[in-house]
Structure 1
Amino acid sequence: MSAHPPIPTRVVLLCGPSGSGKSLLAARSGLPVLRLDDFYKEGDDPTLPQVLGSSDIDWDHPGSWDADTAVAAVTELCRTGRTNVPLYDISRSARTGTETVDIGRTPLFIAEGIFAAEIVTRCRELGILADALCLSRGPVRTFRRRFLRDLKEGRKSVPFLLRRGWRLMRAERSIVARQTGLGAHACDRDEAMGRLAGAAAGRCMTAKNTATKNTATIN
């Protein structure tokens, strides 16, 4: 009898509004993690979008993020277990170097960031998607957590953080709706942990199979 082929490494894409707890949940999962926020464009990139009616760069717009490079890194991790990724300093809006991410022979890892939903379809078509999850804590809780985190880390100026926070709080429902529309499953922390455990055990629940449930959740 021939040996079984090796289990391919797959990715769980973890998205949600900024401040929804993605990084914390990913860390608690015990799985290897790829930080998708490191694939932001640099602050002098002429293609960066601006907030309508403002001179602020819209860092919450998918156009501020390098999706092609992110997909390439996710794919290489799935195929080889190793890839080089940029190191990004949010406070400086700049890449400060590179680092090697090595996940070894693990069959599953998490790629988390606010734009993770933007690559759900591409990862599914490449055959590397295990699941896609969208965390949501509610606009007020998310606003508070995001502001305190960003203030502590000195990510941007206080006026910028307040303007951004107010804008995102008002837009949170539409953000979640967009991400679920792109194929991510809306859930809270406990359900996300359960789905991660299922994916790690080989019970992959791709977002394609949860479209009906997502629609019911949004409504």
Structure 2
Amino acid sequence: MSSQPIPTRVVLLAGPSGSGKSFLAARTGLPVLRLDDFYKEANDPTLPLVTGSTDIDWDSTASWDMEAAVTAVAELCRTGRTRVPVYDISISARTGSEVLHIDRSPLFVAEGIFAADIVGRCQELGLLADAICLRGRPATTFRRRLLRDLREGRKSVPFLLRRGWRLMRSERRIVARQAELGAHPCGKEEALGRLAAAAAGRCRRTPAGSGAA
């Protein structure tokens, strides 16, 4: 009797901007889908603005193509490959596309600040292994995010300072919202443990909308 192929599943890695999601995902050695590459482009008329400002609100899910992200996750789970956009945050535009292959990996990580927003969809589709919200101290996140964004020249310095201050003040609310969407809030070590459990086939899913376990 031939063995059945192991279905591919996804771990959604959410958390505030600057919380260390990309670094943690790279540490796992698993294939990684960068959900931030599904941002809309700067000329998209549906982009939202920060209330009382002319700044684009890149922290609103309305600035992100959720449907395309879910499609990419589903295709990776089903076929092991998908075409993804290459996005340049410094110019808020897609500069091309590339094919992401995960070969026969039974698990991959999809990381980004909006990952929690697709927990319910991925669970409904039977794709979810786990959902994690990486959390830390707001002041530490602020410093890490600012240094990264300055180093990579993501936006102008005034914009980065305005956004950074706004996110630091709202970080606990961001984590609480992602937990409500079904992503388990935890620090890096616990997150690595959950990722290792998922890789070993011990899925620890948090039902969407139920909050932290």
CA deviation map 1:84-124 (0-9, x unaligned): 00000000000000011000000000000000001000000
In structure 2, the CA distance between the partners of 1:71 and 1:210, relative to structure 1 (3 Å rule), is closer
Tell me the equivalent position of 2:56. Answer: 57
Please state how far the C-alpha of 1:164 moved relative to its aligned partner: 0.1
Tell me the equivalent position of 2:117. Answer: 118
Look up the SS of the partner of 1:208 in the other structure: coil
CA deviation map 1:135-185 (0-9, x unaligned): 011110000000000000000000000000000000001000110100000
Q: Please identify runs of 4+ aligned residues in structure 1 that moved more than 3 A.
A: 209-212
The number of residues matched between the two structures is: 213
CA distance in 2, matches of 1:6, 1:103: 15
CA distance in 2, matches of 1:95, 1:198: 35
Look up the SS of the partner of 1:207 in the other structure: coil
The residue type paired with residue 15 of structure 2 is G
Gaps of 5+ in 1: none
* Structure with the bigger percentage of helix: 1
Tell me the equivalent position of 1:169. Answer: 168
- Once the two structures are superposed, the pairs formed by residues 91-170 of structure 1 within 5 Å of their partners are 91-170=90-169
> Is residue 202 from structure 1 mapped to residue 186 from structure 2 by the alignment?
no
Task: Supply the RMSD in Å over aligned alpha carbons.
Answer: 1.3
TM-score normalized by the length of structure 2: 0.98
Do the aligned partners of 1:185 and 1:210 also contact (CA within 8 Å) in 2? no
CA distance in 2, matches of 1:207, 1:96: 36
Q: Identity of aligned pairs, percent? A: 71
Tell me the equivalent position of 1:30. Answer: 29
Gaps of 5+ in 2: none
Tell me the equivalent position of 1:16. Answer: 15
> Is residue 78 from structure 1 mapped to residue 77 from structure 2 by the alignment?
yes
CA distance in 2, matches of 1:211, 1:98: 36
In structure 2, the CA distance between the partners of 1:209 and 1:156, relative to structure 1 (3 Å rule), is closer
